[in-house]
């Protein structure tokens, strides 16, 4: 008989072939097989004999069945955690201690996930799956399971493959709107799966011009992506995760905003009542409109194709602040541009102010027969439209002329014989930082007729010679800015006093005193004229007699012909000393400059402290009129030739700090020729 195991109580016999098949055998088990030979009667023994048979004999043999292997694998995603995979299978038959699962990535490109994942499960009656994590998305895994039991040979299952899908990329900080101020923008993306490369697609919002769709295939394994857009454009961007033999995966849409560039502002045309500003944009830009803002309060939206705007109805001599905003619809502001309107002539005062602020002082002690005191209140004119730089005082004799502007202007000497002529008596420079010309009460008091001047026919040179006795006058007061012109007003009339008559006895005394004085003066004049080589009488000059007719004066001395030019170029030290001595003589008899006559702020611009351009020489001084300048001073004076046909400018050699002033003067006066009358050395020392 045959027993397949200890619990087998069946009495099965061997087949004729001496074989037996045990059924219901379990894998992974140990079986004790027994072959039982039943007792056999000994043939030559009788039945009642004691040892008449061979006793029962049992043959034992232990057999071990192989472990069963795992089969029928199936992969499923964990929908709550895409980093976990569920591997279902048919558990091995029979007995085993545990199942060990091993999965390895077959096609990893750019990710850095774990290549091999393992897990195991203990023997249980109903176990049919194993989970593995963390899995890498976008790769192919190959797995096998090992059935394990102690003292048994492990059994490896057939290979099993499964594939995880690609995942979309996400923005690292998960922002949905990215804002940039440059056309080159980038995004730092986080990948959720393996991939070969990424593609970006950025579509302009609302068909904005000149924005275009941006499609870019980026390099392998690159996650920091860059694109070049257009200023002022909004883009809707998405990213495609790509890998060969895998289905592409699209990210959600992100908005990329590129702000327009900052407009560059500049001033164009400036008048006293308007300012034109212009702006430019350096690169192609999408924009919808411009807004021009003035002083943070007023704004306009000009035509977007002009790139300029003229702001009118402004006030003169005012500072304005401008900005330009560009809408795309995002807004970018320009830097502030500060512009000043140019000056205008001062505003015209009302008649009441003219009456009350230009007052002839008839009772003043210095108002006499040939001179008169006029009091002027400087508040008559305002600096609102421009800084007043000078007052011009014209004297009018014809009281029938009621216009405030000087008309038929002539020289003082021409006006002596023609009452219709207005002549310039005074040119008074005004400095806002220096009020020394005002009296303690803040008023300006002028004495008309208290000066002497040369017999000069130039109407532009002031002459405050004596007035006519017992004569009616008016003055024209012109307040002038540096460049915008003058505003003139006409005063009330005033009358000089009657000439006093002396008694006969007084006349004798006067003549007794005057005659000696006259003799001394004549001798002094003759000496002075001889020292000056009587230069003013060496040539014939046109003069005017009392009837206004031209007469010819004969030379009192023979004219001295100048030396040939070559002799002046080759003068020796002795001739230099003579010229220098002559200069010293001229310096002694010329008008003297006092420190109080000149603005001390201009002293730094003079080569020599004793030779300023203003003060005593104010009426011929050159004034620089450039709007950008902080002052108008240069050491230069206008000179008119003796025949009135040519004009010159005498200017000191420019210093290092006045070189720019010198060339501004050349441009302002349109000087065609420059003549250097000095050497580069002065008294054997190099000029600087």
Query: Between β-strands 85-90 and 129-132, what pairing exists: parallel, antiparallel or unpaired?
Result: antiparallel
More confident of the two residues 522 and 250: 250
Nearest-CA neighbor of 490 among 569, 374, 586? 374
Nearest-CA neighbor of 467 among 402, 419, 429, 501? 419
Q: In percent, how much of the chain has pLDDT > 90?
A: 47
- Average pLDDT (614-629) is 84
Which residues sit opposite 524 in a β-bridge? none
What is the C-alpha separation between 207 and 648, in angstroms, rounded? 68
More confident of the two residues 444 and 679: 444
Q: Among 453-467, 565-579, 658-672, name the most confident range.
A: 658-672
Q: Residue 436: left (phi > 0), alpha (psi -120 to 50), or beta?
A: alpha
| 634 within 8 A of 665, measured Cβ to Cβ | yes
Asked if the model's pLDDT at residue 250 lies above 60, the reply is yes
What is residue 515's predicted lDDT score, i.e. its pLDDT? 62
Nearest-CA neighbor of 346 among 404, 394, 409, 397? 404
58: helix, strand or coil: strand
Residues 6+ apart with CB under 8 A from 132: 84, 85, 87, 101, 103, 117, 118, 119
| 250 within 8 A of 201, measured Cβ to Cβ | no
CATH topology of domain 71-163: Immunoglobulin-like (2.60.40)
Output the six-digit token pair for 10: 């069946």
What is residue 457's predicted lDDT score, i.e. its pLDDT? 74
Asked if the model's pLDDT at residue 208 lies above 80, the reply is yes
DSSP 295: T
Domain ranges of the chain: 1-65, 71-163, 170-258, 264-340, 351-495, 513-588, 591-686
What is the C-alpha separation between 388 and 482, in angstroms, rounded? 7
What is residue 521's predicted lDDT score, i.e. its pLDDT? 65
> What band does 588 get if pLDDT is binned at 50, 70 and 90?
low
What CATH number has the domain spanning 591-686? 3.90.190.10
What is residue 553's predicted lDDT score, i.e. its pLDDT? 38
| 195 within 8 A of 241, measured Cβ to Cβ | yes
Residues 6+ apart with CB under 8 A from 298: none
What is residue 577's predicted lDDT score, i.e. its pLDDT? 77
Supply the Cα-derived Rg of the chain in whole angstroms: 59
CA angle 288, 290, 293 (to 5 degrees): 155
Kindly state which CATH superfamily the domain 351-495 is placed in: Immunoglobulins (2.60.40.10)
The answer to which of 545-559, 582-596, 614-628, 653-667 has the lowest mean pLDDT is 545-559
What is residue 593's predicted lDDT score, i.e. its pLDDT? 52
Q: Where are the beta strands (DSSP E) in 98-176?
A: 98-105, 116-122, 129-132, 140-148, 155-156, 160-163, 170-171
What is residue 563's predicted lDDT score, i.e. its pLDDT? 59
More confident of the two residues 192 and 561: 192
Asked if the model's pLDDT at residue 124 lies above 80, the reply is no
Kindly state which CATH superfamily the domain 170-258 is placed in: Immunoglobulins (2.60.40.10)
Q: Where are the alpha helices (DSSP H) in 219-263?
A: none
What is residue 531's predicted lDDT score, i.e. its pLDDT? 46
What is the C-alpha separation between 185 and 92, in angstroms, rounded? 58
> What band does 591 get if pLDDT is binned at 50, 70 and 90?
low
> What band does 596 get if pLDDT is binned at 50, 70 and 90?
very low
What is residue 8's predicted lDDT score, i.e. its pLDDT? 72
What is residue 506's predicted lDDT score, i.e. its pLDDT? 45
Map tokens 């830097």 to a residue: 335
What is residue 502's predicted lDDT score, i.e. its pLDDT? 45
Output the six-digit token pair for 465: 């010679």
Asked if the model's pLDDT at residue 512 lies above 70, the reply is no
What is the C-alpha separation between 493 and 358, in angstroms, rounded? 10
Q: What pTM did the predictor assign? A: 0.54
What is residue 551's predicted lDDT score, i.e. its pLDDT? 37
Asked if the model's pLDDT at residue 228 lies above 60, the reply is yes
- Average pLDDT (216-239) is 92
Asked if the domains 71-163 and 264-340 are classified in one and the same CATH topology, the answer is yes
Instruction: Summarize pLDDT for 70-104 with one digit per residue, the tens.
Output: 999 999 998 889 899 999 999 898 888 999 999 99
User: In Å, how far are 75, 281, 333 from 231, measured between CA atoms?
Assistant: 50, 10, 14
- Average pLDDT (18-29) is 85
Instruction: Summarize pLDDT for 370-380 with one digit per residue, the tens.
Output: 999 999 999 99
Cα–chain-centroid distance for residue 578? 60
Output the six-digit token pair for 405: 């502007």
| 157 within 8 A of 69, measured Cβ to Cβ | yes
> What band does 336 get if pLDDT is binned at 50, 70 and 90?
very high
Beta-carbon neighbour count of residue 76 at 10 Å? 12
What is residue 400's predicted lDDT score, i.e. its pLDDT? 86
The alpha carbon dihedral of 650, 655, 661, 662 has a sign of positive
What is residue 602's predicted lDDT score, i.e. its pLDDT? 84
Map tokens 């307040």 to a residue: 479
> pLDDT averaged over the chain?
83
Residues 6+ apart with CB under 8 A from 195: 109, 110, 111, 138, 166, 221, 241, 242, 243
Output the six-digit token pair for 188: 């730092």
CATH topology of domain 264-340: Immunoglobulin-like (2.60.40)
3-state helix vs strand vs coil in the chain, percent to 5:
15, 35, 50
Q: Among 53-67, 326-340, 617-631, name the most confident range.
A: 326-340
122: helix, strand or coil: strand
What is residue 535's predicted lDDT score, i.e. its pLDDT? 39
What is the C-alpha separation between 616 and 456, in angstroms, rounded? 17
- Average pLDDT (108-113) is 88
The answer to which of 205-214, 260-269, 431-440, 553-562 has the lowest mean pLDDT is 553-562
The answer to which of 36-50, 305-319, 433-447 has the lowest mean pLDDT is 36-50
Q: Where are the alpha helices (DSSP H) in 182-243?
A: none
Instruction: Summarize pLDDT for 137-162 with one digit per residue, the tens.
Output: 999 999 999 999 999 999 999 999 99
The answer to which of 18-27, 238-247, 294-303 has the lowest mean pLDDT is 18-27
The answer to which of 178-182, 562-566, 641-645 has the lowest mean pLDDT is 562-566
């Amino acid at each position: 008989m045959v027993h397949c195991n200890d619990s087998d109580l069946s009495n099965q016999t061997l087949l004729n072939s001496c074989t037996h098949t045990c059924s219901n055998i379990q894998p992974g088990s140990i079986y004790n097989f027994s072959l039982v030979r039943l007792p056999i009667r000994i043939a030559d023994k009788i039945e009642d004999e004691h040892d008449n048979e061979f006793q029962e004999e049992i043959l034992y043999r232990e057999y071990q069945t192989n472990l069963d292997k795992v089969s029928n694998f199936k992969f499923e995603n964990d929908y709550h955690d895409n980093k976990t995979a569920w591997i279902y299978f048919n558990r091995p038959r029979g007995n085993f201690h545990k199942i060990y699962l091993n999965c390895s990535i077959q096609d990893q490109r750019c990710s850095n996930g774990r290549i091999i994942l393992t897990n195991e499960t203990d023997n249980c009656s109903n176990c049919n799956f194993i989970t593995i994590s963390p899995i890498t998305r976008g790769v192919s895994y190959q797995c096998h399971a090992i059935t394990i039991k102690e003292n048994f040979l492990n059994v490896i299952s057939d290979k099993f493959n499964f594939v995880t899908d690609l995942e979309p990329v996400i923005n690292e900080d998960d922002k949905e709107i990215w804002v940039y101020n440059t056309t080159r923008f980038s995004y730092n993306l986080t990948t959720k799966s393996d991939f070969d490369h990424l593609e970006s697609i950025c579509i302009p919002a609302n068909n904005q011009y000149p924005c275009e769709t941006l499609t870019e295939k980026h390099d392998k394994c690159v996650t920091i992506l860059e694109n070049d857009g257009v200023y002022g454009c909004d883009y809707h961007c998405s990213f495609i995760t790509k890998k060969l033999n895998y289905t592409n995966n699209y990210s959600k849409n992100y908005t990329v905003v590129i702000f327009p560039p900052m407009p560059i502002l500049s001033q164009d045309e400036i008048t006293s009542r308007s300012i034109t500003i212009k702006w430019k944009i350096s690169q192609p830009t999408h924009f919808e409109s411009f807004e021009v803002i003035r002083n943070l309060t007023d704004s306009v939206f000009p035509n977007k194709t002009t790139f300029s705007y003229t702001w009118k109805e402004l006030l003169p001599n005012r500072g304005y602040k401008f900005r330009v905003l560009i809408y795309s619809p995002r807004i970018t502001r320009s830097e502030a541009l500060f512009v000043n309107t140019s000056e205008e002539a001062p505003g015209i005062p009302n008649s009441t102010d003219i009456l009350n602020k230009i007052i002839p002082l008839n009772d003043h002690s210095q108002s006499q027969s040939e001179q008169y005191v006029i009091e002027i209140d400087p508040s008559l004119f305002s600096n609102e439209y421009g800084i007043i730089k000078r007052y011009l005082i014209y004297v009018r004799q014809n009281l029938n002329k009621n216009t405030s502007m000087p008309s038929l202007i002539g020289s003082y000497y021409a006006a002596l014989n023609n009452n219709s002529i207005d002549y310039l008596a005074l040119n008074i420079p005004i400095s806002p930082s220096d009020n020394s010309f005002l009296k303690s009460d803040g008023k300006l008091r002028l004495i008309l007729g208290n000066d002497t001047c040369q017999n000069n026919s130039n109407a532009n040179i002031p002459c405050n010679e004596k007035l006519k006795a017992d004569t009616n006058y008016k003055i024209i007061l012109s307040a002038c800015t540096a460049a915008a012109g003058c505003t003139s007003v006409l005063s009330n009339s005033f009358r000089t006093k009657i000439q006093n008559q002396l008694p006969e006895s007084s006349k004798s005394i006067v003549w007794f005193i005057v005659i000696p004085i006259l003799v001394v003066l004549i001798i002094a004049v003759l000496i002075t004229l001889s020292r000056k080589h009587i230069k003013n009488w060496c040539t014939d000059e046109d003069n005017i007699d009392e009837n206004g007719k031209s007469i010819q004066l004969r030379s009192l001395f023979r004219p001295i012909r100048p030396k040939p030019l070559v002799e002046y170029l080759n003068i020796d030290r002795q001739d230099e000393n003579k010229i220098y001595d002559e200069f010293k003589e001229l310096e002694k008899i010329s008008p003297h400059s006092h420190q109080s006559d000149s603005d001390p702020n201009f002293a730094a611009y003079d080569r020599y402290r004793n030779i300023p351009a203003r003060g005593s020489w104010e009426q011929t001084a050159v004034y620089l009129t450039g709007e950008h300048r902080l002052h108008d001073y240069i050491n230069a004076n206008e000179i008119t030739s003796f025949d009135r046909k040519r004009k010159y400018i005498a200017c000191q050699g420019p210093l290092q700090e006045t070189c720019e002033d010198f060339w501004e003067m050349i441009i302002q006066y349109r000087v065609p020729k420059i003549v250097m009358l000095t050497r580069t050395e002065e008294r054997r020392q190099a000029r600087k």
